[in-house]
Amino acid sequence: MRSLLKDLTHGLVHLFYPRLCEGCSKPLLAAEEVLCISCALEIPETNYHNIPDNETALRFVGRIPYVHATSFAWFTNDGLLQHLVHGLKYKDKKENGYYLGSQFGHSLKPTEWISSVDLIIPVPLHPAKEAKRGYNQSMLIAEGMGEVLNKPASDKLLLRTRDTESQTRKSRAERVDNMAGAFKVNDKAALAGKHILICDDVLTTGATLEACALELMACENVKISIATIGIAIS
């Protein structure tokens, strides 16, 4: 009886408040989340997680030592991924972050290198910006990844100490200068000897991730890998 009532309630809720696909706006099936199966297949995945010299990794060559770097999908203006990330960051669609993180986690799960990761750390927001938005979108991504990969995710160990200017119209050199000294490790002892996977939403020049990595590398014997949901086509 309890199961029947639960199914009836779910059916009535879906009837009056249907969950719609973020891609095509059609009603989602019970087993679908955020995107229907057809739209999920339209996300332009990179599929290069096992390729050491992939495009994401090459953007950090000579800048920071890393174990591996990869991105889930190509990020293009007006593309489906751009729509999902925009909704996540500016329209309170937190479910987009967890969904993208979990999909990324599934694509990383078969790789050998991911097994050595001890901890997922998202790029932190400044407290004022996080309070205004209500959440850190990168932490939601990290939680989605962590759930699938069975890895802990924490936003308490790397903090943003300075509210930096927007990076949008800055050159690569200006972005690096803008991010200098913007982050601080909260507990270096807790990170000693760890392989840390830094995650973020979209990779452009990589200046923000570079600043995070350099701060984390001040901890003893830390190894760094990088994962972003999107990579902007340069």
pLDDT at 147: 98
Neighbours of 179 (CB within 10 A): 24
pLDDT tens, the chain, 234 aa long: 555 444 444 444 455 468 999 999 999 998 999 999 999 999 999 999 999 999 999 999 999 999 999 999 999 999 999 999 999 999 999 999 999 999 999 999 999 999 999 999 999 999 999 999 999 999 999 999 999 999 999 999 999 987 765 555 555 565 556 666 789 999 999 999 999 999 999 999 899 999 999 999 999 999 999 999 999 986
CA distance 115 to 200: 19
- For residue 49, give the 3-state DSSP assignment: coil
- In the chain, CATH 3.40.50.2020 covers 43-232
Distances 207 to 67, 87, 112, 210 between C-alpha atoms, Å: 18, 23, 27, 5
pLDDT at 162: 79
Residues in the chain: 234
* β-sheet bridge partners, residue 225: 197
Is-contact 88 201, C-beta < 8 A?
A: yes
pLDDT at 1: 52
CA distance 183 to 51: 30
Q: Which fold has domain 43-232?
A: Rossmann fold (3.40.50)
CA distance 165 to 56: 24
Give the β-pairing of 195-203 and 223-232: parallel
Cα-Cα end-to-end distance for the chain? 57
pLDDT at 13: 47
CA distance 181 to 103: 32
**Is the whole-model pTM more than 0.85?**
yes
Tokens 């910006």 correspond to 129
HSE, side-chain direction, 13 A CA sphere, residue 174 = 7
pLDDT at 12: 45
HSE, side-chain direction, 13 A CA sphere, residue 59 = 22
DSSP state for residue 205 in the 8-state scheme: S
